[in-house]
Structure 1
Amino acid sequence: MKEDFLHYLWKFKKFDTLNLKTFNGEEITIIQVGQYLELAGPDFFNAQLIIGEQKWAGNVEIHLKSSDWYVHHHERDEAYENVILHVVWEHDTEIFRSNNSEIPVLELKKYVDAAALSNYQSLMAPKSWIYCEKQLKNCDEFLLKNWQERLFFERLERKSKSIFELLQQTNSDWEAVLFCLLAKNFGLNTNGEIFLKIAQSIPFSIIRKESFEVENLEALLLGNAGLVDAEKEDNYFKDLKFRYFYLLHKYQMEKKVVEPVQFFKHRPDNFPTIRLSQLANLYHIHQNLFSIINSSNSVKRIYEIFDVSTSDYWQNHYQFDKESPKKKKKISKSFVDLIIINTIIPLQFAYAKSQGKENSEDIIQLINEVNAEKNAIIDKFSSFGIPSKSALASQSLLQLKNEYCNKSRCLECAIGMELLKNNS
């Protein structure tokens, strides 16, 4: 048994509340269970109880055993001086305040219905993937929809933290933040962090100034990726290398090869040469890209913005000095979907938050236009009867699995709570 189950029992009064007595035999009447706090200090704040003939207002602390009070060193913490009731599953020792008065104890196991305990044990039985996998399909559709929206915005809140960190690093330049986020997105999982460092290594003011010549943008990006270091006979390679060192001198920049970019395990269309060329062309075609993207509220419009290919050279090359059949390597719609999910929507959310504005309805409308991601986690939920019809659903399920299921936070999850209520 886990302590959060006792929190659940107390919060929702899932026990016999009519015949409650302290371990010493005094009657307990619950007026208010208190406010559930998930911070440091007692578990429930400002509860109101009648114990014996005395009315009390104060805090309630919950443990599996009474002796956990000392295990957690609450006797040394003044925050626990105002505890009026110690709720435990098993009482094994008396607890005293600093003035030597004994804290009343409620031993909860005497008052919990066997069915509620059995249902909890069933929910928390050893799992093959997640605890409630056999019961998921019975979840109320309305509850699931609302919970998924909450999970989605939880995920956005987490993503926005890294955006605000970038905003500080770029002196509040939203265009520079977007450039960094897009670079990371263009690098995918393998090269994402490397591409981000490449973007951070070039002052965005230089990207702005050089955006009118796409070859200069390619020279900067490929140069700081370490892709123009060798000696090759290829004329385009020689031109980019010349431009790179000219730009370093022009802007008095140091040569900053972060770390080698990876070609291994990538399909050719995802080679770093191709993705960096597409990124360069995107900034060559669109000036003030942040303003354009931040005001875009439809997937169709965003597809138009990212209707971008590589430079001519890369249409018949994947690497320098190695010619390949000609192919116009445009950014695919599925790749743009990832950009919308991982860059555009988090950025729009963070920007609105920075301005004190509310844009949740616009974001929900936009994310619901985007196709759901396809991966092992989404497929697994689908096999349990929870399909993903849009990216909102798939993003919420990733949040659910990573932040709740994997951490056994079932009693903080709306699905887990509902399953307990329905069977209690």
Structure 2
Amino acid sequence: MREEFLHYLWKYKKFQFSQLTTVQGESIVISKVGEHNFNSGPDFFNALIKVGGQLWAGNVEIHVKSSDWYLHNHENDIAYDNVVLHVVWEHDTQIFRKDNSELATLILKDYTDIRTIENYNDLFSNERRWIHCEPFFADMKRFDLQHWLERLYFERLERKSKTIESLLEDSKNDWEAILFIMLAKNFGLKVNGHAFYTLANSIDYSVVRKSQNNIEQLEALFFGQAGLLDKDIQNGYYQELKKEYQFLRQKFQLANISVASVQFFRLRPPNFPTIRLSQLASLYHNQNTLFSKIIETNTLEAFYDLFKVSTSKFWETHYTFEKSSKASVKTLTHSFIDLVLINTVLPIKFLYAKQHRNESEDSVLQIANKIASENNSIVQAFNNLKKVSESALQSQALIQLKTEYCDKSKCLQCVVGNKFIGKIAK
């Protein structure tokens, strides 16, 4: 038996709620179970409970065994002086307050439906399942599941916004600079995300601002900081970039010693770092006030227009500096822009709206609902159980569900696990 399950039973009143008595034989009437406390201190604050006809306002502490009270040294902690009821699964010893009065104790096992316990055990019985609720996930009502996924999506936005908040503190609230760092990381995708992130951090954003009007300067800046201009390649474009970078490096006192190496291995040519860096340079060359435009933009179609950029001319016939290729205009695809929106733009819009208390949160939700669902292994596995992901909002929510709930066995904090146990106990 796990204490988490006892918290669930108490919080959601999944036990016989009438004719309760303490181990001392006094009646218990619960008016309010209290507020669940996830930090240190008693498990539930501000409960309202009548014991033996006396109404008490105070806290509730829950343990598997009564003796856990002493095991956790609660008798020496003033935070537990206001506990009015001790809820346990097994009563193996009497508990006394500092004034030697016995603490009222409720044995929860005596009032819990056996079917609820069986269902709880079934939920965690097979560790080989991909998720604990795999056999009955498909039984979830669509309305309940979609409502839960929307909450999970905002949880994921909150998690991502914490990273942005930390960067903002370091940059003294320079939103444009943080947008550049996050976009750079996103343009690098999984393989080069870290390298592009370190690259962006190695450049003071004021240098980007001063170079925006000249696409060649921006490319020289990005390629040079990425360590891609260190060779002796004999073509005019490469030599011009190299010369420009040497000028910029001296002028702005640039150093790239902390920049991680970019990778080409196992990447499709359209995702080569050369192509993505050229596209990033084109984006900043075309959009001088990109952050302001992102905040003002509230439709998916407008974002597709905003991020519709291509490489510079040289890269229309190249993927690397050394070898030419068949001519093609290498424009950011809608699927790539979707990733940029999901991982960078929408989290930034969400945090900005939250800090400035405007209504952009609604537009974040609307845009996420219009972006096509991601198609990774987590989303595919959930869809195999029940077709549930049709948008980026839902696919992001499913990632949050799997990584933060399923993988951590937080089934009792999940609507799916909650519903499964609840429908058994009638």
Aligning the two structures, in what range does the TM-score lie when normalised by the shorter sequence? Answer: over 0.9
Count residues in correspondence.
424
Q: Deviations over 1:308-352 (max 9, x none)?
A: 111111122222222222222111110000011011111111111
**What's 2:328 paired with?**
327
- Using the alignment, how far apart are the partners of 2:17 and 2:167 within structure 1? 52
- Aligned residues of 1:182 and 1:343 also touching (Cα < 8 A): yes
% identical equivalent positions: 50
- Aligned residues of 2:177 and 2:205 also touching (Cα < 8 A): yes
**What's 1:96 paired with?**
96
Change beyond 3 A, Cα 1:2–1:358: farther
Task: State the shift of 1:97 in Å.
Answer: 2.0
Partner SS for 1:205: helix
- Aligned residues of 2:59 and 2:85 also touching (Cα < 8 A): yes
- Using the alignment, how far apart are the partners of 2:304 and 2:360 within structure 1? 21
- Residue correspondence of structure 1 range 6-405 to structure 2 within 5 A: 6-127=6-127, 128-256=129-257, 258-405=259-406
Partner SS for 1:387: coil
* CA RMSD in angstroms, aligned pairs only: 1.5
Q: Deviations over 1:30-53 (max 9, x none)?
A: 222222222221111121222224
Q: Deviations over 1:79-117 (max 9, x none)?
A: 111111111111122222222222121111111111111
Q: Deviations over 1:338-391 (max 9, x none)?
A: 011011111111111121224332111111110000111000100111421111
Q: Which range moves more in the overlay, 147-156 or 262-271? A: 262-271
Letter paired with 1:45: F
Letter paired with 2:84: I
Q: Deviations over 1:199-235 (max 9, x none)?
A: 1111111111111111111111111111111222222
Q: Which range moves more in the overlay, 112-121 or 352-361? A: 352-361
- Aligned residues of 1:214 and 1:280 also touching (Cα < 8 A): yes
- Using the alignment, how far apart are the partners of 1:255 and 1:119 within structure 2? 58
- Aligned residues of 2:299 and 2:363 also touching (Cα < 8 A): no
Change beyond 3 A, Cα 1:54–1:378: same
- Using the alignment, how far apart are the partners of 2:97 and 2:223 within structure 1? 67
- Using the alignment, how far apart are the partners of 1:346 and 1:158 within structure 2? 9
Task: State the shift of 1:254 in Å.
Answer: 3.2
Q: Deviations over 1:214-267 (max 9, x none)?
A: 111111111111111122222222111111110111223334451211111211
Q: Runs of 5+ in structure 2 lacking a partner?
A: none
Partner SS for 1:47: strand
Change beyond 3 A, Cα 1:384–1:255: closer
- Using the alignment, how far apart are the partners of 1:238 and 1:413 within structure 2? 58
- Using the alignment, how far apart are the partners of 2:285 and 2:46 within structure 1? 60
When the two structures are superposed, what TM-score results if normalisation uses the length of structure 1?
0.96
Change beyond 3 A, Cα 1:50–1:354: closer
- Using the alignment, how far apart are the partners of 2:11 and 2:173 within structure 1? 43
Q: Deviations over 1:120-150 (max 9, x none)?
A: 2222221411111111111122211211111
- Aligned residues of 1:149 and 1:392 also touching (Cα < 8 A): yes
